[in-house]
Each structure stands twice: as structure tokens, then as C-alpha cells.
Structure 1
Amino acid sequence: MPGTVGRVPTPSAPLSGSPVRADAAAAVLAYDWAGTALGPRHCWDPAVRAVVDLVLASPVPMALAYGDDLLLIYNDGYAELIGEHHPAAVGRPAAEVFHELWRLPGVGNVIERVYRDGGTFLEKESTLQLVRDRSGVVEQAVFTCGYSPVCDGGGRVVAVLAVAAETTHVTQQLQSLSEVAAALAGTLTLDDVARVALRYAITTFDADRVAFGVDEGGGGWRMVRRIRGELIDEADERLPPLWRRTPADWPDPLVQAARTGNPLITSAGQPLRETAVDRHDQKIVSLAAAPLHASVVRGGLSVGHQAARTWSAAERALLAASAELIGQAAERARRFETQHGTAQLLQRSMLPEHLPDLPRLRIAARYDPGVDGNAAGGDFYDAFLLPTGELGVVLGDVAGHDVRAAARMGQVRAALRALALTDPRPDAVLAGLDRLVASLGTEAGTPELFVTVIFGVIDAERQELTLASAGHPAPLIRRCAPDQRPYAEYVDLPTGAPLGLGARPAVTTVRFAPGDTLLLFSDGVIERRRQSLSVGLATLADAVGAAGSGDPRALCAVASAAVPEATEDDVAVLAVEHALVPSRSAAMEVPAEPTAPSRVRRWLTAQLGEWRVPESLISAAVLCTSELTTNALLHAGTAARVEIDLSAERLLVSVADSGTRGAVTRAQTDTLSSRGRGLGLIEELSDAWGTDPTVRGSTVWFELLLPAD
């Protein structure tokens, strides 16, 4: 009777001291009612008998509380709710059966009031703790309970009828709809939207297969699905979904719903017969597909089950509401990706696509946009050979996060290289740039152009590094002599004034011996809100000094992540290592074919064996490279390039693809784009790994340190 009860054990499981539950109707009919207010069954009032017959025949949980003592008569559905109280509750006063709850507000007083006054009462939501199975797992169930007076043939109220309808499923679905709206609010890309949509749909609709798709803008479609039981771990949830491209006339119900704007429901049949890609699709018997109903993006969401299923009006409405929320998020994501892709293409097109490949000077760079990655910035780097055979390196920052800042950055970078090729002295180059920036400011009517630059010349033969700075942070050098423990120190370099203010930069020359690595960085690496600059500088130096090797690519990754918390500024890093001995390198172009990973494994095994790399490292390198190659082919769908570089202290392997998964261009790729198993392998087997976004596609790399001997 009460709307809220405590933990109720399963009625189908035997309880200590209790018999196995009998059928509720049989228990009511077998009860000796002669000694109660009801009297013998053959003497019952016809109106009361009719209500009792209704209760016992109903599949809905119902109970009748008769007379002043409110004696209980109930059906099987209600017996399941009261669990261990059945069958002893039959014919007993409700106040005794539920004595622990009867005096709580909204329980006994409500039933007594209905019996006394003859009114009705609806308890819109009651929560029951139910044990659903023999395993003892406790679940919360939500019910709507109604109480009505029952009159005898003379019109006198003689009982209270209680009807309980379980609304757990509907309540959970509405809660899920609220949760998915909150989750979609934080999505930026279509990858993000797809992850949220698939996770939500397969849980809310208890589905065996769910799919999400959008138009490609050129007539085709891009679709992704999830299967019940698919192993999706925490790492997988952060990774790019496995999109599949289909032609414009693809007969999948999702595409048809998206194209027509009308939902498609198949209660029983083979809805994916013409488009099934594997046995998971072939097993789907019932499927509902709803269009996104977005103004710009066409797409749909489909939910499939392996058994015949009738979709209620409430479930159809929930699916339509879900698809509408997902459509709005997809539209926002498409706009973001368009703006973001344009900004990043502009940004990266002004940076060097290839850095010099030298035997004794190994070079790497990394650029990560700040803010939300949706605007072009002014950070830049460059490295180029000078006519003297020396290496020129530069890193600068033009204030701003817009197209104008990126354009000025391009002008400054081009002018610097031209000046350096004429006269490579760092002070002369920066003096010429100072005049250029002043001229640009006057031309634009903005004399306050804020541009900082550091320029250096590396002479590998003389083991010297000559630097000059115009308002830029001093660089860091990781020292690693053969007989010393590595450490990092900042170059004692006068900062000077930013360009455009009549800069007269001072020049500093320091030792740059084999084993050392130079690190140039922008202020986005070390500056954080509510933290002093000195803390950021010290944290960066500690991280670089503790790095496992002086490999420039690894140090770029270390520097980018050295200072905790996110930055709103761009991050640019350039590293140059003076190698102890020349490294050996090789590369292989990998076609987008199923046999490509096996070809890479054979090639890599042979190449590393020829270089006499230890067998244990060969096994780890081959396994990791195979995973990365498979990942590149799956996610990018294009050919890839595998590069290996062997130095005296480490083996570096990188896999680069040239795809962006459709229109998606990610600002940062902080996680390996492999399925969960691949990510775990790389983290477990390598000494360092990372990802580098490039002008086209992305590069994933890992490093294995060689034994000391």
C-alpha cells in the first residue's frame, strides 16, 4: 500500500524462514475470510466482489485495503513489489504489514484519508528499492501510485483501491535526455558529437546497435556506429570514432530518414539487409531512424534491436527529441570545424612544412594553437641552412589571434629569412626586422605592433651557438656530456626590446657541444594565470633536464606539457640536438591497403636487424609500429609514411598520415589515435611517445632508449 518501501527481496527467491512465493490470486482465494470484516466469499457485496476480481486479473500492480482495518487483497504484480511480506500480508491490516513505514508522511495518513473522506489521491513519483533477480542486485524503481475509494452496493466507502504503475523506464529516459543535452553542450567537433550520441543512444534505448551519420557536403555520407558489448574503455572514448563513408544513394534507413526528413520505423524484419557490413548488422530485426532536423547539417540517428519491437508514442517522441538535440550540436560542430580548419590551414601554411635534415643537427618543432583552436595566431618558428653552412633557427611571436596576426607573422618570417641569407649576424638580422615592423605599424596606423623574436646561428664545426633576442624569453639548453648527468640551463641572454621600438639587440655566444639540445619556446609554454613567470621557467627547466633523452621531437612534447593547466596562448617549440654521432634513418611509404601493416613489419624487422639493434627492441618497435600503421590507415583512410631514426642513445619511429577524417581538423591531438589496445601497447613498450599535428594530417611517434652498453 505505501508508496515508498525499503529494500524488498525478490519474491521468486526463497527467504530464510519464508516459503517460496505462491500465486497471489490462489493465496487470496484460499484465505479464510469468514473471520474478517469481509465475511465468507459467497457473502461478499457484489460491487466489492467485482473490484476484487478486477484486482486479481489485472497485470498492473493493484491492491485493495478493506474495512476499518484496511485488510489487504492484492494481485501478482503487487506481490512482487512487497516481496518478503507476501503471502503473509494477505488478509492482514495494512498498518501491520507496513508498520515501519505507516507513520511516515504521505503513507498511512494518505490511505486513511481516502478511506475516511472518499476522495482520491495520486502520488506522482515513488521510489522503491527492489531486488530484481536472484543475484541480489538492488535497483531503484520509480512508480506512479493512485488511491481511490471503493463503495459497496449502498454507496458507502468500504475500501481503498491502490494502483501502481512503474515509470522507471520513462523517468530514466527523461533524465538521460537532460544528461545528453548537458554533454552535447560541451562538444566542439563532429567526433565529439558522435561519441556523445552513440553512448547516449545505446544506453537510453537499451539498443543492440546504434548509428549516427551526417552528410559530407559533396553528396556522400559519413557514418559511425556502436555495437552492444563493444569494448569501449576510457581511452577509446577520447579517440576519433571510426567513420565510414558511403555514397549519396546509400539505401540505409538512417540515410533515407535524413534525406526525406521523416522517421522510419521497422518493428520486425531485416531493415539493414541491403547495407549490412557484418553479422552485427545482419542480426538487427527492429530499427528506428530519426532525422536530425538541423537547418544546415543533414543527418540522422538510428537505433536497432535484435528482436522484434514495437515503438510506443512516448519512445518515438524521445527519439525525435534526442535527434533534434544531436542535430543542433552537429550544426555547431560543423561551423566550428569550418572556421577552425580555415584558421589552422592559414596558420600552418605559413610555417615550414619540412625542416632541414642534417647528419649532426637533428631538428623538430611543434605548434599548438591556444584559445579554442578556432583562430589563427602569430607564433612562428623556422630553421634553415645559411650560405656559410651554418644553421639559422628562429622563434617569434606576433601579438594577436586573428588573420591579421597570422599575415604579419608570415611577413616577419619571410623577411627574417631574407635578411639572414644576406647577413646572418643575429644582431644585424633583428635590426633589419625592427625597421620592417616599425614600417608595418606606420602603414597600418598602429604603432603598437608587439612582435618578439629570438634568432640564432648554430655552427656545428666550432660547437658554438650565437643568439640575439628582441623581447623574447631566453632559450634553454639541455646539456648532456658523455660522462655527466643531463641538466638544463637557460642561456644568459639580454632580452632587449620588442621589434618596432628601435631595438638594438645584444649578441651572446655560448658553447653548443655534441650531446646538447637547444630549446626555443614561446611564452605560451611557461605563462599561466595565477602563477608567476619564474615558476613556469623553473618547471620547464626541471622537465627538460629530467627528460629521458635529448631527442628534439621528444623534448618538444615534454616542453609543451611541462607546465600544468591549460594556456590560452599559442604554444610554439623548436628543438635542435647536436648529435654525438650521426644518426641513421630510413623511410617507407605505406599504401592504404589491408596488407600494408604486414609489409611494414617485414621491412622494419629487416632494417633494424641490419643496423644490429637489440632483438628485444626490434620486437617492441615492430609491434608498436604495426599498431600505429593500422591506426593511420583506419582513421585517415590514406597512405602513410613510416620513418625510423637510430642514434647512439635511442630509436625513434614515426608514422605520418595525410588525412583529416573528413572535415575534421583537431587543434590538439593529446591522445594516440589508436583503439584502446594500441594506446596501451605504446604506453607500455615505449620510453616516450607523442603526436604532432602537421599541415596535412598528423604524425604519431614513439621512442625506445638503447641499452647503455
Structure 2
Amino acid sequence: MPGSVGRVPAPPSRWPGPSPTPGSAAGSEAAAGAGEPSAGPPTETTWAQTPLGPAEEWEPALRSVVDLVLSAPVPMALAFGDELALIYNDGFAELIRDLHPAAFGRPAAEVFAQVWELAGVGEEIEKVYRTGIPYLEREGVLPVDRGRGSDQVDHVVLTRGYSPVRDQHGQIIGLLMVIVETTQVTRRLQRLSELAVALSGTLTLDDVARSALRYALESFDADQVGIAVDDGADWRGVRRIRGELLDEADERLPPLWRSFAADSAAPLVVAAASATPRFWADGRPLLSTAIDRHDEKIRALAVLPLRTPSLGGALAIGYCAAHPWSPAERALLTAAAELVAQAAERARRFENQHGTAQLLQRSMLPEQLPDLPRLRLAARYDAGVDGNAAGGDFYDAFPLSPGRLAVVLGDVAGHDVHAAALMGQVRAALRALALSNPDPAAVLSGLDRLVGSLGTEARRDELFVTVVYGVVEPGAGLMTLASAGHPAPLLRQAPAGVPPTARYLDVPPGAPLGLGGNRPTSTVPFVPGDTLLLFSDGVVERRQQSLSAGFAALAEAIAGASSGDPRTLCAVASRAVAGPTEDDAAVLAVEHALTPSRSASLEMPAEPTAPGRVRQWLTAQLTSWQVPESVIGAAVLCTSELTTNALLHAGTAAQVEIDLSPERLLVSVADQGTRGTVTPTRADTLSSRGRGLGLIEQLSDAWGTDPTVRGSTVWFEILIPEGGPRGNG
């Protein structure tokens, strides 16, 4: 490393034993007297003298990084804070030689003043800290002092990787420096840095498994890799095989986990349970627990435990030929396992928090929307970028007598439990008010008084609630709407023989709830062929983009949609405006159908024969409805793929529903598992059944997923060619 890196013996003053972690007493006997630098890392009482401050006040993210640095078997340092103060391990101390131990806790620019201005040193370190963009120099040559007071200068080849370190809020608090003096491990070090970057963006255990398995397979050129984590009293694991296309290769689907009993003799489970690494250079380590020929072929195996306070697991790398595990490989594997373990622990915490928050969010939303003869409805709720907190967006739709429908979509400011609780109160109060007197002006007036009262009771002036509420009367071909500070609804119109259009309705916005004032109503035509779209501002708002551009993009996307079907329009609206959003997004669509649709459903049991039964039922049903054969064939293939995926990934019974109108066939498969959202992006990979989502994308006109209170719904739409079924036939 800059200043005095070279191939030198271990520094004379090193902390004894394994590298201590914050709060341990290791190294305390090596602490220097007053005014002298410590010969090892600070003790529990002397951490306060470093820029990191008292160890007991550190947030979990900082503590995890310091623990990782001090225990890593490769030279590693944390450059912390604006001064980039150095906290490093034994390996790094060996690299900087005589600069240790005085360098500990000092700014990097002072420690490496000799070479700070050279290319790839100070400028790149500061750039990573400012921008968060990782830096890797595969082979850098630096002048190195070979000894204190010596005039001899050598040029040492170093591989250096700098990666940003973030706190629990995503703010950069420092950077991680990984330094290796040999070029023989350049490629694997680059992969390790890439793994650290990839893991920093993971949110779920599925994400961690994908990143870890991809890294292990590619970096070590292995024949088989696997990962296991604790699952209650038992374990669950997933593996990757070189050259085999599995569903986990498809980034939009989760890995295929399999269960292991707590007393399993599988090396992954044994290493995970004992927290002890195991290495086989040659033999048949998986023979006794093999599940197929791939396991039987493995001769060399390395299994590294994943161990944190709240998670246990293991990472395995195997070869079909004998393979001696070099010290460098073992060190890299140990470092990778540390990174994977920390990421897996964060992912588990996120999943627990996310699951609780999302269950709270969705339990306050209607589990099913009304089923009316001439009105078709669909809704969609997407959490923001974080997705780790309950939000305040909500929607609702419920019948009013005689033959009318109430629709509402609102937004409560905030992304916490308080916002979700207020949302639930507003939604419940709105339904009660509407069932008593559905007039939009009266309903919003009552809600205004409620929000004002809640704000007074909580002594909070910052309650901010916007709502758009309307009453749809399909028999009269009208709808009446009122808004309390909410974005104007969008109306898609598709008269026969004319290209569809989309326009924002002229509904006076009024003031948000709780601020008083009048909220006038607007009555507009709502005739067969029209579709009403209510949405929250998270659908159209993006950073560094004007709000008007978002509104324009949404209207253009809705007008250009393949049909006016509500589920299709909800999916189109959710991705109409490019770029990520940190806000929740809710959409409610109501279509005034030209003719009533026909529908049918089938409960699919969680058993291997289910896809075949679904194919037979769907073929018979669509044939009886006189659907064109080309549509039947495509629909049966797509539905079979969805039911197979539901069995593989959810493992629960599923509901298959079909809805046929003169314009399109809509098929959905709803499971009760925890698969999550499948993003409708380009599908280039295949599933384990040889087709995958690429087939659905090719054969359908639109498709997507909708998360529900429990599980998710995957659907697709196929347009009916002219001459197809008409009316109720």
C-alpha cells in the first residue's frame, strides 16, 4: 500500500491471537502509554479515542463492517468518515509495515502522504467516498520505501479495490479497501469486489443466494456450488450446476430451495451446524447424501460456514476432478463467506420487517373487488424502492344501491405504521359515510372533519391526506367525482372504429383533508368502452423529472395500451413513467364493458397432476365458448407454464381464473406462497420445463403480476381476432 508496502516480515508489534472485534479485550495489554500509539486495535475503552467514537454507540451497519475488516483473512481496511480514518486488520498491518501501529485511526491522506497524489491513490479513494462508485485497479505499480530511513525504493505491483460502505439509511460513511500484492489473484479479487457491490444491493435471501452462487460459480470456475441457511429447526439450500439451465438462472424467479433435516449428513448442513469449514481435495464427499448424478461426480469440495448472531448457513464449491485448495483460495473463500453471511443476515431482517409491513399494508386493502355485470375492476399496489415500511396509499370499491359503485383512491403522507393506521381509519370511515350518504361532496366533508379531529387529538398539524372519490352509475352512463387535493382521474375512451384516447377529467382538486373548505363535484359521461383510472402521485412522480412529463407519459401509455382491460391498464400505468420511485404507487381501474364477459375458475391442488388437469379444463371451457383455436392453443401453453411455476415456487394450491370478452381473453393464476413480484422484462432464459416466461411474453399481448395479501397473481391477456366470440353466446 502507499507509503511502505512491500514484501516484508510481519511487523514487530502485532496484536496477539485472532483479530479482536469491537468491545473485546484482545490487544489491551499491547496498548501504549499516554501519548503513544497503540500496538493493536483500540480496546473497548479506547475506541472512543478514534474517529469512530464509543463502540456501544455504533449503528449495526458500522459494527458489521468493522467486525468484517478486523476478522478478514485478506488485507483489508475501512477508511471512515470525511477524514478517511484508517481501521485495518493484521494483513493490512503487514502491508504498511513501519507505518503500523501509528497509522491506526489516522487520516489516509496523512498516512500515505508519500504517494497520495499518484494515480489511483488519493484521487480515486476520495472519488469512491464522494460518488459511491467502486474502484478496482488490477495491477498498479507504486514506489515503496523498504525501510525507515533507507534510501532504497522498490516498485511493488498491487491490486487494489475500493468499495463504498453505507449506513442503514444508505448514506456513504466510508469505503472498504482490499489490497493484495500479487497479480495471481487479480481476477478473483475483482470478483470479490464485485460480490461486495452485488451483495450491497440485495434485499432478500433469494437475492443473496443468486449473487453468491453466481460469484462462486464464475470466480472459482467450479462445477457445482451451493448455499444453505437455517429454516427454523431445519435447513434449506439451493445449488447451481455448471451448464445447467435452472429457474434460478432467470433473474425474475427465485431460486429453487430444497429442505434438509436438522440431522442431515449433507456437508452443507454439517458445516452450517458446526460452524466449521471443511475441505476435500479428492474423494466422494457427497456420495452418501447425493440426490442425483451431479452430486455423485463431485470429488473436491470446500464448505465454508456462514455464521452471524441471527443466521447460520454454509457456502459450498465443488469440482468433478481432484483440486488442492491453496491458502490463497481458502482465504478468498473465507472472505467471500463473511460477505455472504453479513448480507444474508441483513436480508433476513429486511424480509421480516418487509413481510410485517406489507401484510399490515395489504390487510387494510380490499382482498377482492366487486364482481358486477357491466363493470370490470382491477387494482394494483406497489411499494416504493425501499419496500420496507407500510405506506399510506389505499384504494377501495364497493357496491351502492341501486346498481351503483363507489370508487376511491387516496394517499396518506408517510411511510410508517402511523401512516398505515391513518389510512385504515380513513378508508373505514369513507365506506361508512358512503353507505349512509354516497354523495361525493358529503363524503369528503365528513372525512375532512375526521382527519381534522385526528390531527387535533394527536396534536399533529402535519397530517396530509388526499383522496379522490366517485360514484359510478353504469345504467345512466354517468359518474360523479370529487377530489381533496388528489391528482385528476384519467379516462380512457375507445369508441368503435376510432383509436383510443386518454384525457384527464376536469375535477376541481379542492383542499387536502383536514384543512376545511368545499370540494365541488363533477359529473361526466361514462359509457360502454370507457375505462376510469384512479392513481396516486407515486405513479407519475420521478426525481429530476417534471410532474407534467409524468402525467403526459401516463396518458400516452394508457391510450396506447393493447386493450381497456383494467388489469392490463393497472400494469401499464405502474411502468408508464421511466425511472425508480421512492414513493408507493396505487392504481384502481374501472371499465364500463361493451358487453358482459364470461368467466370461470378452477381450484388447482398442489400436486403433480394439476397442470394436466388445468390444460384439459381450459381447453374444454374455451372450446365451448367458441374461442378461435389459435387463441386456445396459446392460452393453454401459457396457463400450463404458470401453473407449473406456481407449484414449483409457491408449493400451495392455486386458483385459475379465465375471463372472456369480445375483445380479449384474460387468464390469471393466483397462489398463496411468497414468490413476490415477477418483473415483466425481456425474457431470454428458459425455465426448468424448457419454456419459461419467454413463452408467455411471446404468445400473449400483455402479462404481469399483482401482489396480494398472501401470495401473488400472475396473469396474461390475449386479444381475440376479428370473427371471434361475441356477446354471451
TM-score (norm 1): 0.74
Which of 1 and 2 has greater Rg?
1
Residue deviations 1:459-518 (CA, integer Å, cap 9, x gap): 111111111111111101111122322111111110101111113111111111111100
Alpha-carbon distance between aligned partners in 2 of 1:695 and 1:365, rounded to the nearest angstrom: 13
Q: Using the TM superposition, give the Cα deviation of residue 232 of structure 1 relative to its aligned residue in structure 2, in angstroms.
A: 6.7
Query: What is the CA RMSD across the aligned residues, in angstroms?
Result: 2.2
Alpha-carbon distance between aligned partners in 1 of 2:416 and 2:681, rounded to the nearest angstrom: 27
Alpha-carbon distance between aligned partners in 1 of 2:400 and 2:247, rounded to the nearest angstrom: 50
Residue 469 of structure 2 corresponds to residue 477 of structure 1:
no
Residue 254 of structure 2 corresponds to residue 254 of structure 1:
no
Name the structure 2 match of 1:363: 377
Instruction: Please say which of residues 608-617 and 442-451 is displaced more in the overlay.
Output: 442-451
Choose from 570, 585, 588 the match for 2:584: 570
Alpha-carbon distance between aligned partners in 1 of 2:680 and 2:697, rounded to the nearest angstrom: 13
AA in 2 matched with 1:204: S
Alpha-carbon distance between aligned partners in 2 of 1:700 and 1:238, rounded to the nearest angstrom: 13
Name the structure 1 match of 2:219: 204
Alpha-carbon distance between aligned partners in 1 of 2:681 and 2:396, rounded to the nearest angstrom: 26
Residue 347 of structure 2 corresponds to residue 333 of structure 1:
yes
**Aligned residues of 2:157 and 2:183 also touching (Cα < 8 A):** no
Residue 477 of structure 2 corresponds to residue 494 of structure 1:
no
**Aligned residues of 2:380 and 2:570 also touching (Cα < 8 A):** yes
**Aligned residues of 1:369 and 1:667 also touching (Cα < 8 A):** no
Q: Secondary structure at the match of 1:298?
A: strand
Identity among equivalent positions (%) equals 70
1:649-664 alignment runs, 5 A limit: 649-660=663-674
Alpha-carbon distance between aligned partners in 1 of 2:286 and 2:409, rounded to the nearest angstrom: 55
Name the structure 2 match of 1:509: 523
Name the structure 1 match of 2:365: 351
Residue 237 of structure 2 corresponds to residue 215 of structure 1:
no
Alpha-carbon distance between aligned partners in 1 of 2:665 and 2:516, rounded to the nearest angstrom: 46
1:441-460 alignment runs, 5 A limit: 441-460=455-474
Alpha-carbon distance between aligned partners in 2 of 1:671 and 1:685, rounded to the nearest angstrom: 15
**Aligned residues of 2:268 and 2:314 also touching (Cα < 8 A):** yes
Residue deviations 1:279-324 (CA, integer Å, cap 9, x gap): 1112112211110122211010011111222222222222111111
Alpha-carbon distance between aligned partners in 2 of 1:209 and 1:563, rounded to the nearest angstrom: 41
Q: Secondary structure at the match of 1:529?
A: coil
Name the structure 1 match of 2:205: 190
**Aligned residues of 1:239 and 1:675 also touching (Cα < 8 A):** no
AA in 2 matched with 1:213: A
Q: Secondary structure at the match of 2:377?
A: strand
Choose from 559, 583, 588 the match for 1:545: 559
AA in 1 matched with 2:202: T
Q: Using the TM superposition, give the Cα deviation of residue 531 of structure 1 relative to its aligned residue in structure 2, in angstroms.
A: 2.1
Alpha-carbon distance between aligned partners in 2 of 1:652 and 1:235, rounded to the nearest angstrom: 28
Q: Using the TM superposition, give the Cα deviation of residue 675 of structure 1 relative to its aligned residue in structure 2, in angstroms.
A: 4.6
**Aligned residues of 1:668 and 1:693 also touching (Cα < 8 A):** no
Q: Using the TM superposition, give the Cα deviation of residue 564 of structure 1 relative to its aligned residue in structure 2, in angstroms.
A: 1.1
**Aligned residues of 2:236 and 2:260 also touching (Cα < 8 A):** yes
**Aligned residues of 2:273 and 2:312 also touching (Cα < 8 A):** yes
Distance 1:405 1:125, change over 3 A: closer
AA in 2 matched with 1:201: A
Q: Secondary structure at the match of 2:289?
A: coil
Distance 1:234 1:250, change over 3 A: closer
1:532-611 alignment runs, 5 A limit: 532-611=546-625
Residue deviations 1:154-180 (CA, integer Å, cap 9, x gap): xxxxxxxxxxxx976533222222221
AA in 1 matched with 2:416: D
**Aligned residues of 1:671 and 1:691 also touching (Cα < 8 A):** no
Choose from 607, 615, 622 the match for 2:636: 622
Alpha-carbon distance between aligned partners in 2 of 1:400 and 1:534, rounded to the nearest angstrom: 23
Residue 438 of structure 2 corresponds to residue 411 of structure 1:
no
Q: Using the TM superposition, give the Cα deviation of residue 123 of structure 1 relative to its aligned residue in structure 2, in angstroms.
A: 7.2
Name the structure 2 match of 1:23: none
AA in 2 matched with 1:192: D
Alpha-carbon distance between aligned partners in 2 of 1:649 and 1:669, rounded to the nearest angstrom: 25
Name the structure 2 match of 1:641: 655
Q: Secondary structure at the match of 1:274?
A: helix
Q: Using the TM superposition, give the Cα deviation of residue 425 of structure 1 relative to its aligned residue in structure 2, in angstroms.
A: 0.7
Alpha-carbon distance between aligned partners in 2 of 1:546 and 1:667, rounded to the nearest angstrom: 24
AA in 2 matched with 1:462: A
Q: Using the TM superposition, give the Cα deviation of residue 669 of structure 1 relative to its aligned residue in structure 2, in angstroms.
A: 4.4
Alpha-carbon distance between aligned partners in 2 of 1:390 and 1:125, rounded to the nearest angstrom: 74
Instruction: Please say which of residues 537-546 and 266-275 is displaced more in the overlay.
Output: 266-275
Name the structure 2 match of 1:28: none
1:380-395 alignment runs, 5 A limit: 380-395=394-409
Alpha-carbon distance between aligned partners in 1 of 2:434 and 2:682, rounded to the nearest angstrom: 38
Q: Secondary structure at the match of 2:225?
A: strand
Distance 1:672 1:345, change over 3 A: farther
Q: Using the TM superposition, give the Cα deviation of residue 633 of structure 1 relative to its aligned residue in structure 2, in angstroms.
A: 0.9
Name the structure 1 match of 2:319: 305
1:49-60 alignment runs, 5 A limit: none
Alpha-carbon distance between aligned partners in 2 of 1:232 and 1:247, rounded to the nearest angstrom: 24
Residue deviations 1:75-97 (CA, integer Å, cap 9, x gap): xxxxxxxxxxxxxxxxxxxxxxx
**Aligned residues of 1:475 and 1:521 also touching (Cα < 8 A):** yes
Q: Using the TM superposition, give the Cα deviation of residue 207 of structure 1 relative to its aligned residue in structure 2, in angstroms.
A: 1.1
Q: Secondary structure at the match of 1:543?
A: helix
Name the structure 2 match of 1:315: 329
Q: Secondary structure at the match of 1:634?
A: helix
AA in 1 matched with 2:644: T
Alpha-carbon distance between aligned partners in 2 of 1:322 and 1:528, rounded to the nearest angstrom: 36
Q: Using the TM superposition, give the Cα deviation of residue 651 of structure 1 relative to its aligned residue in structure 2, in angstroms.
A: 0.2
AA in 2 matched with 1:468: A
Alpha-carbon distance between aligned partners in 2 of 1:523 and 1:121, rounded to the nearest angstrom: 61
Alpha-carbon distance between aligned partners in 1 of 2:226 and 2:616, rounded to the nearest angstrom: 37
Alpha-carbon distance between aligned partners in 1 of 2:347 and 2:580, rounded to the nearest angstrom: 22
Alpha-carbon distance between aligned partners in 2 of 1:643 and 1:629, rounded to the nearest angstrom: 12
Choose from 254, 258, 263 the match for 1:240: 254
Alpha-carbon distance between aligned partners in 2 of 1:555 and 1:659, rounded to the nearest angstrom: 25
1:263-282 alignment runs, 5 A limit: 263-282=277-296
Q: Using the TM superposition, give the Cα deviation of residue 439 of structure 1 relative to its aligned residue in structure 2, in angstroms.
A: 0.5
AA in 1 matched with 2:267: P
Name the structure 2 match of 1:5: none
1:40-55 alignment runs, 5 A limit: none
**Aligned residues of 2:260 and 2:269 also touching (Cα < 8 A):** no
Alpha-carbon distance between aligned partners in 2 of 1:672 and 1:689, rounded to the nearest angstrom: 12
Residue deviations 1:19-50 (CA, integer Å, cap 9, x gap): xxxxxxxxxxxxxxxxxxxxxxxxxxxxxxxx
What stretches of structure 1 of length at least 5 have no aligned partner? 1-105, 107-118, 127-165
Name the structure 2 match of 1:295: 309
Alpha-carbon distance between aligned partners in 2 of 1:708 and 1:435, rounded to the nearest angstrom: 53
Q: Secondary structure at the match of 1:407?
A: helix
Distance 1:122 1:433, change over 3 A: closer
AA in 2 matched with 1:464: L
**Aligned residues of 1:377 and 1:406 also touching (Cα < 8 A):** yes
Q: Using the TM superposition, give the Cα deviation of residue 246 of structure 1 relative to its aligned residue in structure 2, in angstroms.
A: 2.2
Q: Using the TM superposition, give the Cα deviation of residue 125 of structure 1 relative to its aligned residue in structure 2, in angstroms.
A: 7.7
Name the structure 2 match of 1:402: 416
**Aligned residues of 2:374 and 2:592 also touching (Cα < 8 A):** yes
Residue 192 of structure 2 corresponds to residue 180 of structure 1:
no
1:1-12 alignment runs, 5 A limit: none
Q: Secondary structure at the match of 1:581?
A: coil
Distance 1:377 1:487, change over 3 A: same
Residue deviations 1:91-120 (CA, integer Å, cap 9, x gap): xxxxxxxxxxxxxxx9xxxxxxxxxxxx99
